[in-house]
Chain A
C-alpha cells in the first residue's frame, strides 16, 4: 500500500497541464487540465484507450514534450520550467526513467545487455569501469537476472527477460520514479504476472514510485494502489484502486471494466452490476458534444443537457475524484436498464 505520510509533499506533481502537439491548423490539444500527484512508494495505474494522451503525459513528465500551460514539479523543483543546459542536466541525472512497451524495439539489437544497462550510467558521466560493472550487476540482480546475461544481445533472450533488461536499464541510474508505458501488453500471461510482481517488489525494496500505463485493468487491480482514468486528454476518474473497481463512479470506467475479457463465462457472471450494452452509447450515434462539453458525452448513454459543459474533477471520497455531472444518478439508471435487458441478452 501507499507509504504516503499525511502532509508530505508528493514526489511528482503534474499541475493543470495542457499539451498541444503540432502547430497551426494541425494543432491538436492532447492533454487538458491534467492534475496528477504521485507519492514515493506508490504504484499508480494510468488507464485509457489509444489516443487518450497516456503516452504524451509520460513524455511530458520526463521533459520530452513541453506543456503549453501548467507545470511539472519533481521533488519540489518545477522541472518543466528548466531550459537548455539546466534541463539537460536534470535529465542526465535520471531521477525519472521510462520503460517502454516493446523491448525488442526499444533496446538496441546490436548492444549486449551489459552495454544497454550501462548506457544510462555513462550518460550520467560515470567513467570508472569497475563502478559501472558493479552498478550493472546490481541492477540486473534487482530484476532477477544473473551475470550469464551480460554478454547476450536482446535477440538472444526471451521476451520476459528482455522486459526485465529494460527495467534494469532504468534502475541502473537509481531513479526515484519509474514510468512504465504498457510494460506487459506484449507479454504472455505468466510472463506478464512475473514482470508485474517484479515491479511490486521494487516498489517495496527501493521505495520507488511507479506509474504503470496500461489498458489492461485487471492486471492493474493486482498491484496498483491508485488508478487514474484518462479519456481524450482529461482525467475522468482518479481514486484508490479497490474502491474505483468496486464501484466505478464514471460511466467510462464502468465501460472499461465491463468490456474486459474474463475466463468466467458470461452465463455465470450476473454478479456484474451493469451489462456492457447499457454503458455503450446509443447505436444510432448521438450528436457529438460541442466544444467545451464533457469529453465523454458523445459516447455516454446517460448524457443530459448539463453535459454540454465540461464537468470539473470533483472529490467524491477520500482521495477519490470524478469528472461527471451525473455521477450520482447514472449507476441507478444503468442498473434498471440492465435488469430490463434480462439474462437472455447477457451474452
Chain B
C-alpha cells in the first residue's frame, strides 16, 4: 500500500500503564487518510482511549509509549518534546472530549477562549480574532454567535459547549480531529446534530477525524472505516459497511448483536457471556477465545495474526485465517 497521503499512522504501538507494570495497548497499527473518518470502538478498558491519547501526546501519568511509533503527516512524533507537541496541538491536531465543561475555563467567556487560541496559534489581532471567532461559531451551528461569544461556559447547554469545543478544535484548520466520546454525555437529539456537524466539517474542510466511542451504533452512523478494539488489540478493521454487513471476527459479531438496532421492536436483549480479561493480562493466543462461542483449540495455541479478509478489511481470528488459506 502506498504510504503517501496519510495524516496519521500508528505502527505496532504499545502503551504501558501503572509505570510499566502492564501493557494496555499491544501492537496497534492503523492509518488515517486525509478527509477520512475512522471510528475506534470497543468496551471500556479495551485501550481505545489510551491509543487516542498517545496520538495526541497527552498520555496520563504513569502511562508511556513502550514500543512502536506514532507518525503524523509522515513525521515520527513518538518522542517529540513537550514544545514540539504544543506546536502540533491546535494547529495540526484538534481534540474534543466527552466532558466539554471540564476543558473550558469557567470564568472566561467562551468567545474569549476561542480568540485566545486564534491569537496565540495564528497570530491574529484582537479585531481579526473576534471576526474569525464569530465565523467559527457560525460554522459549528451556534445561533446568534455575537451573543454566545460573551457567555461563560455555565450559561451554555452541554450541546452548545460541545459545539464551542469543536469550534476551538477546528479553529486553526487541523488536519486531524481526535474526538474521544464527544457525544456520550449528550441527549440523542443533540448527539444526532453533533454527528451531522462533524460530517459537514469533514466535507467542507477535508479534515480527517479519529472518532472514539463505545457505542457501535454511533460509530456506524458517522464513520467511513471502523476499527474494533478488544483487550488492547485491534481485532477487526475495515470499511463501515463491510464491518456491519459482514463482520468476520466473533467479537465484532457479538458487538453487533448487542448494539442498538434502532428498529424499536421488542426483542430478546442479547449479552456477550463472560468478562473481558484484566488490563495487561498475559494470554497466549486469541484474547477473546475465553468468551468466543466459536473457539477451537487452535485459538489458544499461539499469537493470532491479523489477516486480510477483504479489500482493506482485516480480522485477527484463527477461523477467518483458515478460510483465507483454503480459498
B275 to chain A, nearest CB (A): 6
Is the CB–CB distance between B262 and A216 below 8 Å?
no
Is the CB–CB distance between B244 and A265 below 8 Å?
yes
- Which of A25-33, A81-89, A192-200, A329-337 is the interface stretch? A192-200
Residues on B with C-beta less than 8 A from A3 are none
Q: Who on chain A is nearest to B272 by CB? A: A190
A142 to chain B, nearest CB (A): 18
How many contacting A-B pairs (Cβ < 8 A)?
A: 122
Is the CB–CB distance between B269 and A263 below 8 Å?
no
A310 at the interface (CB under 8 A from B): no
A218 at the interface (CB under 8 A from B): yes
Query: A221–B267 Cα gap in the complex (Å)?
Result: 8
Is the CB–CB distance between B271 and A190 below 8 Å?
yes
B238 to chain A, nearest CB (A): 14
Q: By the criterion of a CB under 8 Å from any partner CB, how many residues of chain B are at the interface?
A: 43
A188-B43, A190-B271, A276-B192 are contacts. A262–B217 as well, Cβ < 8 Å? yes
Which residues of B215-265 are within 8 A (CB) of A? Answer: 215-218, 220-221, 240-241, 244, 254-256, 258-265
Give the interface residue-count category, chain A.
Answer: 35 or more
Q: Contact check: which of B43, B240, B260, B266 meets A261 at CB < 8 Å?
A: B260
Is the CB–CB distance between B260 and A263 below 8 Å?
yes
Query: A258–B262 Cα gap in the complex (Å)?
Result: 9
Which residues of A186-235 are within 8 A (CB) of B? Answer: 188-194, 196-197, 200, 215-219, 221-223
The digit string for B27-54, where 1 denotes a CB below 8 A from any CB of A, is 0000000000000000110000000000
Is the CB–CB distance between A221 and B266 below 8 Å?
yes
Is the CB–CB distance between B191 and A259 below 8 Å?
yes
B201 to chain A, nearest CB (A): 15
Query: A158–B157 Cα gap in the complex (Å)?
Result: 31
B188 at the interface (CB under 8 A from A): yes
B218 to chain A, nearest CB (A): 5
Is the CB–CB distance between B188 and A193 below 8 Å?
no
B214 at the interface (CB under 8 A from A): yes
Q: Contact check: which of A189, A222, A347 meets B266 at CB < 8 Å?
A: A222
Is the CB–CB distance between A263 and B271 below 8 Å?
no
The digit string for B268-283, where 1 denotes a CB below 8 A from any CB of A, is 1111100100000000
Is the CB–CB distance between B266 and A242 below 8 Å?
yes
Residues on A with C-beta less than 8 A from B305 are none
Is the CB–CB distance between B217 and A257 below 8 Å?
no
Query: A256–B43 Cα gap in the complex (Å)?
Result: 25
B6 to chain A, nearest CB (A): 26
Residues on A with C-beta less than 8 A from B158 are 50
Query: A301–B190 Cα gap in the complex (Å)?
Result: 17
Residues on B with C-beta less than 8 A from A276 are 192
Q: Contact check: which of A188, A223, A260, A280 meets B260 at CB < 8 Å?
A: A260
Is the CB–CB distance between A190 and B258 below 8 Å?
yes
Is the CB–CB distance between B188 and A158 below 8 Å?
no
A50-B157, A222-B266, A259-B191 are contacts. A193–B217 as well, Cβ < 8 Å? no
Residues on B with C-beta less than 8 A from A219 are 260, 269
Query: A219–B256 Cα gap in the complex (Å)?
Result: 14
Residues on B with C-beta less than 8 A from A266 are 221
B187 at the interface (CB under 8 A from A): yes
Residues on A with C-beta less than 8 A from B214 are 188-189
Is the CB–CB distance between B264 and A221 below 8 Å?
yes
B272 to chain A, nearest CB (A): 4
Which residues of A41-92 are within 8 A (CB) of B? Answer: 49-51
A261-B221, A261-B260 are contacts. A194–B266 as well, Cβ < 8 Å? no
Is the CB–CB distance between B269 and A197 below 8 Å?
yes
A49, A51, A159, A197 interface centre (most CB from chain B within 10 Å):
A49
Is the CB–CB distance between A265 and B269 below 8 Å?
no
Query: A265–B256 Cα gap in the complex (Å)?
Result: 13
Is the CB–CB distance between A196 and B269 below 8 Å?
yes
Query: A255–B193 Cα gap in the complex (Å)?
Result: 12
Residues on B with C-beta less than 8 A from A51 are 157
Residues on A with C-beta less than 8 A from B268 are 222
A285 at the interface (CB under 8 A from B): yes
Interface residue ranges, B against A (CB under 8 Å): 43-44, 143, 157-158, 187-193, 195, 199, 214-218, 220-221, 240-241, 244, 254-256, 258-272, 275
- List 7 other contacts, CB 8 Å, given A189-B258, A217-B264, A261-B195: A50-B187, A158-B275, A242-B266, A261-B220, A262-B261, A263-B256, A263-B261
- What are 15 A-to-B residue pairs whose CB atoms are below 8 Å? A189-B255, A189-B258, A193-B270, A194-B271, A216-B188, A221-B266, A245-B264, A260-B188, A262-B220, A262-B263, A263-B216, A263-B262, A264-B263, A280-B189, A347-B199
